[in-house]
Amino acid sequence: MSDEKTFRELSQKIDELSIRLEKLNLAEYLEVLRNPKRLLYVNFLGGIARGFGTAIGFTILGAFVIYILQRMVILRLPIIGTFIADIIEIVQKQLAIR
């Protein structure tokens, strides 16, 4: 009776462990590690995606900041407005040069 109970408990533990390993996708991870070409390819694509996302995000953020700065110049805030106008003028000159 005790052996049968122990066997059931061990069987249940093994099933739980098997389910946890499946959730971790360990087999797919080990397959990627065993194939160096695939590992390089996956990391290369991931790097391109991160770089592209960073560039797009920075462009959108920069455009938003410039838009806000231009609106502040239109409102003619006394001290900040002149400073921002100078910055925008410098940026526009640099863009005209290129």
Give tens-digit pLDDT for 80-90.
Answer: 777 878 888 89
- Render pLDDT for 11-70 as a digit per residue (tens, 0 to 9): 999 989 888 878 777 778 888 888 889 889 989 999 999 999 999 999 999 999 888 878
Full-model pTM: 0.48
So where are the chain's domains?
54-98
Q: Using alpha carbons, list the distances in angstroms from residue 21 to 6, 8, 35.
A: 22, 20, 21
Q: Taking the mean position of all CA atoms in its chain, how far away is CA 29?
A: 20
Cα 74 to Cα 72: distance, rounded to the nearest angstrom: 5
What sign does the dihedral 90-93-94-95 (CA atoms) show? Answer: positive
Report residue 64 as tokens: 């938003």
